[in-house]
Amino acid sequence: MKADVEVRLETLARQLGAVAERQGRLARYSMAGIGGPAELLVTAPDRETLVQAILGARALELPVWVFGGLTNCLICDAGLPGVVVLNHARGYRFEEHFRLHAETGALVAPLARAALQRGLGGLTWAVGLPGTVGGMVVNNAGAFGGETSRTLLSAELLSPAGEIVQVEPAWFEFTYRRSRLKGSQEGWMVLSAVFQLRPAEAAQLQAKADEYTARRLRAQPPGRTLGSTFKNPPGDYAGRLIEAAGLKGRRVGGVVISPQHANFFVNEGDGTAADYLALICLAQTEVERQFGVHLEPEIEFFGMECHCGG
């Protein structure tokens, strides 16, 4: 069986050529510098390669995983089986009626800045947001009172059957920091998204962007981190609860709960996914024990599961 998988992996690698790498290290692309190898790592520079890699893996009955910036993804130390596709399809264009069309590998922060420089509001809250448009849509990302679902107008998806379809925002079933695709095994892939922006004074947007950037710098720690570890529970803040539980600065291996903001876990050099998961379990367990509040992870787990807490 293993030999058969190897044959199929090599077949796809030959089909894709230079963009494919055997045993590619995912830690190189993780914001936290954590993650084992992919059996076959494909870096897709454009939409055509992205679709080709996904359909090729499906045709060969290989597991396929698609990532953008790996900003909120914890990948196990053993790595991932099958094919991992890094979506670097980053094209975008501004259209009439104040709309922005972006491929899902496009980086969010530069898009938000390009919009405000054109006097277009609606994404100013995202000027400091790490990651890509795909992750922003799937996770219904938001900050400073803004949220992806409020500006998304439509999206183009690759279906499990290999068809390209257009959907409206209601299709995603958005809730707080979540869509129907988060953690889904349905096989849908978001290829591009259209956002409805609004005209505004560029100077006012820039002032607001500067304010958001300053607030991020004050609140969020530097270093290698996956961003906010937990969602904020209703009426409270995950960071406050973790700090109140006495866990600021707590360490497991090479990963530490940031002394600056307790909802950020930082890899200080040699941290592993196992270290990160152990701290997540510690925070969940202690916050639930002390305050009766269950913290739900905002990050996603790949090749591993989180069963700690209540």
Q: Give the DSSP H/E element, type plus range, for residue 217.
A: helix 202-219
The yes-or-no answer on residue 228 being catalytic is: yes
Judge whether residue 309 has pLDDT over 60: no
Same domain, 72 and 162: no
217 lies in some domain: no
Q: Mark whether 73 and 98 lie in a shared domain.
A: no
Burial pattern 166-201, b for ≥16 Cβ within 10 A else e, equals: eeebebbebeebbbebbeeeeebbbbbbbbbbeebe
Catalytic residue among 149, 228, 250, 286: 228
Full residue range of the structural domain in which residue 253 is found:
222-302
Say yes or no: 103 and 128 in one domain. Answer: yes
The structural domain count of the chain equals: 3
Are both 162 and 194 inside the same structural domain? Answer: yes
pLDDT at 184 (0 to 100): 86
Q: What is the DSSP string of 123-157?
A: SGGGTT--SBHHHHHHTT-EETTEEGGGTEEEEEE
Is residue 280 within 8 A of residue 53, CB to CB? The reply is no
Q: Is there a catalytic annotation at residue 177?
A: yes
Active site residue 298: yes
36 and 66 part of one domain: yes
Considering the candidates 47, 177, 178, 250, report the single residue annotated as catalytic. 177
In this prediction, residue 273 carries a pLDDT of: 97
The residues near 170 (Cβ < 8 Å, ≥ 6 apart) are none
Query: pLDDT tens-digit profile of 173-213?
Result: 999 999 999 988 889 999 999 999 999 999 999 999 999 99
Q: Which CATH number covers residue 279?
A: 3.90.78.10
81 lies in the same domain as 99: no
Residue 84 in contact with residue 68, Cβ under 8 Å? Answer: no
Q: Which of 204, 236, 257 is the last residue of a domain?
A: 204
* 264 and 194 in a common domain: no
pLDDT in tens, 297-306: 999 999 987 7
Does 170 map to a domain?
yes
CA proximity to 105, closest of 118, 119, 123, 92? 92
* CATH of residue 177: 3.30.465.10
Structure token pair of residue 144: 């400073």
